[in-house]
Amino acid sequence: MKPIYLQVILVLFVLFTACDSGEKTKQDTSFTITVNASEPGAIYLDGQYTGYTTPAELKVSEGQYVIGVATQTSHSYLRKELTVNEDTDLMLTTADKPEPKVWKALWVGVHEVTGLSESGQCSSQFSKEELDAGYDFFMWSIENHFEPFSFNTTKWEVERKDINTPIQLHKASNTWFTLEPESIAELLPEVEAGNYDAVFVFWREKDGSCSFKSSYFGLAWTDPLNDPIKTGYITIKFDAGDNIQDNINWYKENDPGVWVHEWLHTVGENYFQDRGERMPEKGGDGLVLHAAEKYQYTYPWMDWYRDFMTGQVKELGSGHTYCGIGPEALLQKSLRESAME
């Protein structure tokens, strides 16, 4: 019987030796990247938020990586591409700040809309001064939301055009009036694929007894590359009241996100998903951007818009993985560039 015992012992020795050898091999191919930056910031690995802030260590296998840091104070994104085949200390500075991707917007101020309201055929009008106030409200959002929420990986070039020709509203019902993209494209033929990433249209909801009140504030078309103009399209139906600036100031103080909200619909429902980005789940109404409460965010949703753009939305049921757009995705290709592919 002794030879049998010896065989068993030999087999066990070989098995344990093989396991130990495998563990050593695994350890030998794991390297540490110690990431630091000139100011504290969130760490990204190949475009995905890691959940870590600087300084921190990342464990990776041998290979090529993109390490990014989104800084907390200056709202900058620093990045470096590196090949890892040994433990590495990485310090990111302002010298590692990439050139921002240019995104182009057309802001359209509509002087007059017409339609068949409950009180009959009528029109509502904005004055030039009121359109100026609306445009300033939009630019305020670009400077305070669009660009800083991207960690300034985007630079918005904005063109403004006002339309003085009265535009007929589309009427689905007495509670649903819309200004359709074909109405704008007919008057502004430059609204076509490749020219703009988004068109923002600002028109007046109510003027005296003429009301086109509808159950929305802003409206966005959510699959732009499958629309005829292949451009993000957003309308803001604004109730100016007695003083448009007072109403704008109220929104700035209480619910400032209308412009960035509607724009995110144009890129956050289909566009970035089609580009392979891991995005949040859909909300109860089937729209991704309306899933804020599902992810435990609260009104007025500004933290949600920020995390949605930065890719820092914690995935449901996960303590350590995140989803959303992210700075690398914003740097890669704009919607108007994709429209020309």
Burial class (CB in 10 A: 0-12, 13-18, 19+), 212: buried
Taking the CA atoms of residue 206, residue 207, residue 212 and residue 215 in that order, the dihedral angle to the nearest 10 degrees is: 10
Positive or negative CA dihedral for 303, 305, 308, 309?
A: negative
With beta carbons less than 8 A apart as the criterion, state whether 40 and 303 touch: no
Q: In the prediction, which pLDDT does 25 show?
A: 40
Q: In the prediction, which pLDDT does 174 show?
A: 82
pTM of the model: 0.90
With beta carbons less than 8 A apart as the criterion, state whether 88 and 33 touch: yes
**Of 237, 242, 229, nearest to 258 (Cα)?**
237
With beta carbons less than 8 A apart as the criterion, state whether 126 and 203 touch: yes
Q: Which overall architecture, per CATH, does domain 2-96 show?
A: Sandwich (2.60)
Beta strands 198-204 and 232-238, pairing class: parallel
Instruction: Report which secondary-structure segment, H or E, holds 206.
Output: strand 206-207
CATH class for the domain made up of 99-341: alpha beta
Domain ranges of the chain: 2-96, 99-341
How many angstroms from the chain centroid is the CA of residue 25? Answer: 41
pLDDT in tens, the chain (341 residues): 444 333 333 333 333 333 333 343 434 559 999 999 999 999 999 999 999 999 999 999 999 999 999 999 999 999 999 999 999 999 999 999 999 999 999 999 999 999 999 889 999 999 999 999 999 999 999 999 999 999 999 999 999 999 999 999 999 988 899 999 999 999 999 999 999 999 999 999 999 999 999 999 999 999 999 999 999 999 999 999 999 999 999 999 999 999 999 999 999 999 999 999 999 999 999 999 999 999 999 999 999 999 999 999 999 998 789 999 999 999 999 999 999 99
Amino acid symbol at 173: S
- Length of the chain equals 341
Q: In the prediction, which pLDDT does 29 show?
A: 59
- The rounded distance, in Å, linking the Cα atoms of 154 and 335 is 12
Q: In the prediction, which pLDDT does 119 show?
A: 87
Q: In the prediction, which pLDDT does 22 show?
A: 39
CB atoms inside a 10 Å sphere around CB 7: 10
- The rounded distance, in Å, linking the Cα atoms of 257 and 236 is 12
With beta carbons less than 8 A apart as the criterion, state whether 305 and 264 touch: yes
Positive or negative CA dihedral for 177, 209, 248, 135?
A: positive
Q: In the prediction, which pLDDT does 175 show?
A: 85
Using only C-alpha atoms, the chain has a radius of gyration, in whole angstroms, of 26
